Each structure stands twice: as structure tokens, then as C-alpha cells.
Structure 1
Amino acid sequence: MKTIFNLAFILFLSISFQSCNLLSAAGITSQGQPTKKVENGLTSTTANSKVNIDHSQWDGLLKKYVKDEGNVNYKGFKKDEAKLDAYLKMLSEKNPSNDWSVQELLAYYINLYNAATVKLIVENYPLKSIKDIDGAWTKGRVAVGDKMLSLGGIENGILRKMNEPRIHFAINCASISCPKLLDEAYTAAKINEQLDHVTKEFINSDKNDISSNNPKVSSIFDWYAKDYKINGKQDVIGFINNYSKVKINPNATLSYKNYDWNLNDQK
């Protein structure tokens, strides 16, 4: 009986451990990463952080291999993979903490997500879609200190917990329907202006068909609806109207466009 009990206990621990790993990979937990919240609006500054990260390596690669419309030269990145690896290694060794400002943390994790996504594509290139890669968002593949984070973990377990919905227009999933990859690195010194820029650009782009009474918008506004708030309450239309040139009737019903998961590769 004691042997059966011990085996059952070991099995329970094994299942629990696997479940914790799956929860972390899916982005339910932050795996101990700091998740400071933006309070009372975000401002751009480097003055309130113990650490200021130099993202110039990533900035140079983006300026070299990303077009204005956001398409990515993955063949070029593949030739410069050593530089991409060096940047990711540098980020891994920084090990973020609560001594960092919310501005530094946002810039760090957005750049980490985007650089790791490019790395994932480069490793599997050529391919038609990121969805062809097994566990693209759920496998732990991004080193931060002694932790291996998943892309889903960075997005859902860290960035989405920071009370800044504009991150959805800054992180890029290497697909046609995604917000475009910005051709410069995010930095604490410019983070608010950069997030404003990419949000306005995405909302007013052809990724949405915005009209007053029959708006058809990106599925991003459906998947992450609870993140878009006005005065603390979920209000997707109100959020869009803060940035859209065409204002949506508050009583309109949103419909959602099909998502194109084909690779955002340069032709």
C-alpha cells in the first residue's frame, strides 16, 4: 500500500510540474519576471531607472533589414545571425528586476519579443508561416538569466500585465496581418512616442476598415478586447476612437477581419 501511495504521489508531482510548465509557456505566469504597471499614463524617460539598456545593436539590424511598410528581409537577417545572437545574449545577461523603470522594462521585453521572433523565423527559414513552427509561442526558447521564456509568456505573462495596451501594436508575430515591425528599437527615452506612433499607424492602416456604423477591424481587437479600456472599463470602440481618423459610433457593432498568417517576408 505504501508503495502504491508513493507512486501516486510521484505521479501527482509530475503532473503538477508539467502543468506549471504549460501554464508558464501559455503566458499565465510571469516566471518571476518583473511586471511593473503603467500608472497615470506613460512618459518617456531614462532618469528613473537603475539600468539603462543600450539597444543600438538591434536598432542597426532593424534599420538595415526592415522596410517602411514593415516587411522583413529574413534572408538578410540570416546573414547577420551572429549579430542577432549577440544582441539576444546581451539581453539574456541583463536579468531585469524591479530596480528597472517601467519604461526600461517595456522597451526591454518588446525588443526581446521582436528579436526572438525574428530569430525563430531565421532558424526555420524558408517557411510560409510562423504557425508552421511547432510550439512557436508555447515552447521556452528565449533565455533571460536562468529562465527560458516562451513568446507567449513574454506577451501574456509579462507585457499584458503592465497595463499598457499599446504593446499589442509594438510586438510583431512575423505575419501579414500583424502590426508592422518598427524599423527602430524601442527605448525608454522614446517609448511613449513610439507606442503612440505604432498604435495610430496600425489603427489607420488597411489592417482595419473603419467606418462610423459598419466597422470591420483586426482580430487583435477581439482576442485582447479586455485590454482596451477607457476610464478603467473595457471599451474597444472608445480606445480605437482615441487614435482613429474616422470615429466609430459608440453603439456600432464591431466585426473582425480574417487574419493573414502568411510570413511578412520582403519580396
Structure 2
Amino acid sequence: MKISTLAAVVLAAGTLTAAAVVVPGLNPVPTPSYAVPAASAVVDHGAYDKLLKKYVSAQGLVDYKGFKADEVAFNRYLALLSKNPPAANWSKADQMVYWINAYNAYTIRLILDHYPVQSIKDIGSKIKIPFVTTPWAAKFFSIGGEKMSLDNIEHGILRKKFDDPRIHFALVCASISCPRLRNEAYTAAQLEKQLDDQGRDFLNNPAKNKIGKSAAQLSKYFDWYKGDWEKNGQSVVKWVNRYSTTKMDDNTKISYLDYNWNLNKQ
């Protein structure tokens, strides 16, 4: 989710990583090709919900040491995800919930694999895989028997298949400038409410967005993913005004805040 100054970097990497500019149509991350089951029971995220309530604060800060001490339960949940990919009979909401929870849970797993670290970006220098230079591009887990990366989930599945920019309020890259990690799991029954709540929380947090009528300093998310916010007749201004208590107009001068990549730890 960090901007790159050279499109050539993106081309060389052969993927749109979370560390690159999102350029529509430029080497998009492929959708994983695991065999989608025709039917299966929807995954229960209750075990993950208990861990989040226990180790994530109301402000979204994570007790990584606590997760580390409770790895048996956490790994059991990740194994459940790994063995039970979304099936064709699942609702759209159940599929989105699965992938959002999976992204956030595997991000926590990635941090634990390298803990202690000051930033998720520090992990990139530790990766010894040819052509893989960011933690988001590393295929360190499996879903349905296929090796996958966080990029595969975000760009190859959620952004490509579900076309809902609110996912950017829900996916958390373990950094201070990210949206708040909820201390509850996403569920199909509450998904719409949870996504809208994330939008309100993110847009009205002055540490992440500073919004005024004449000028606004927005999160880099609104720059990096501008194409997503402008789909279907929408715009950055419309999305901001949907959730911000202070409203912008088309003449509001927009700039973007520096991104704080420090770890979202307690």
C-alpha cells in the first residue's frame, strides 16, 4: 500500500504489490486458481473473534506477544481457513468476510513469524525469494492447497471480484496509518454495518485524515486507490463525504498525509 516512484519497479516485480502504485490494467495480481468447491459449510470465525477480543484494543492496537503466547489456538483457526476455501454456494457476504478475515489474520501471522519488528516493511529485507521484495508478495500460506500471498487476497480476489472500495477500510497492514483493526471478526450478518463503521472511524480519525471544507489532508489510500474510489460514478469527495462529519466540496484543496508504517502494537 505504499507508493512507488517508478512504474518500472512495478513492471520488474511483475505484480501490483501493496508497496506499489495501483495502476489500472498494469500487471494486475492474478486471481488464485485453486479448485472452488461446489458446496461446503461456511467457515465459523468464532475462534478468531475470541482472539481479537482478547488481544486487540478498542483503538485497534495489537498485543502481538499475547497472540504469540496463544499460537496454538491462532494456528488452529488459520488451518481452518487453509482447508476450507469459499465454495460456490456461499453468499457474497460470506465470501467477502472469509477473505477480509483471512487477510488480517495472515498479516498477524506474518508479523508473528518475524517478531519483534518495528514495521511490516522491515520484513521485506528478510525475504530470500527471487523477485519477491515485499512482504505482501510473499506466498507464505496456502488456501485450498494453493500457495498464496496477501497481494493475491487484496488485489487478485477482493478488489477484482467484489468491487467494493470499502474493503480498504477493513484490510489492515499492521501499521499505524492503516484503518483500525476491529477487535471482533467480520461476519456476514454484520458486514454492511461493520464496513460502514470502519469508514466512519477511519475518515473521522484526525491521525489518519484531516478534513476541512477548504482544505483536506487525506490518507494515501485515496491516492493509491483512486481508481477504485472513482468507479460507478463515485469520487474521492463523494466517498469521504459519505462518512466524514466535515463535508468537502469539489473546490476543497486535497493533499495527502505521510504514511506511518510503524507497527500497530500495544
TM class by shorter chain equals 0.7 to 0.9
Letter of the 2:261 partner, please give it. W
Alpha-carbon offset, residue 146 of structure 1: 1.2
Stretches of structure 1 lacking an aligned partner (at least 5 in a row)? 1-18, 36-48
Structure 1 ranges of 4+ moved more than 3 A: 21-27
Q: Does 1:160 align with 2:159?
A: yes
Q: Which residue number corresponds to residue 228 of structure 2?
A: 227
CA contact under 8 A between 1:212 and 1:248: conserved in structure 2? yes
Q: Secondary structure at the match of 2:147?
A: strand
Cα RMSD over matched residues? 2.1
Q: Verify the 8 A CA contact 1:25 1:140 in the aligned structure 2.
A: no
Shift of 1:187: 0.7
Partner of 2:213: 212
TM-score, length-scaled by structure 1: 0.82
Equivalence for 2:88: 98
When the two structures are superposed, what TM-score results if normalisation uses the length of structure 2? 0.82
Q: Secondary structure at the match of 2:215?
A: coil
What SS does structure 2 have at the residue aligned with 1:119?
helix
Is 1:53 matched with 2:54? Answer: no
5+ residue gaps, structure 2, are 1-10, 19-27, 125-133
C-alpha separation in 2, matches of 1:114 and 1:75? 17
> Shift of residue 50 of structure 1?
6.2
Q: Name the structure 1 match of 2:190.
A: 190
Q: What's the offset of the Cα at 1:110?
A: 0.3
- 1:8-87 paired onto structure 2 within 5 Å: 22-23=14-15, 28-32=29-33, 51-87=41-77
Q: How far did 1:251 drift? A: 2.3
Deviation at 1:234, TM superposition (A): 4.5
Bigger radius of gyration: 1
Q: Residue 34 of structure 1: CA displacement?
A: 9.5
CA change 1:181–1:34 in 2 (3 A) is: farther
The aligned counterpart of 1:241 is 241
Number of aligned residue pairs = 233
Matched residues in 2 for 1:202 and 1:228: separation?
A: 15
Looking at structure 1, the residues matched to 247 and 35 of structure 2 have their Cα atoms a distance apart, in angstroms, of 36
Give the letter aligned to residue 213 of structure 2.
S
Change (3 A) 1:22 1:92: farther
Aligned-partner Cα distance in 1 for 2:170–2:192: 11
Closer, same or farther: CA 185–170 of 1 in aligned 2, 3 Å: same
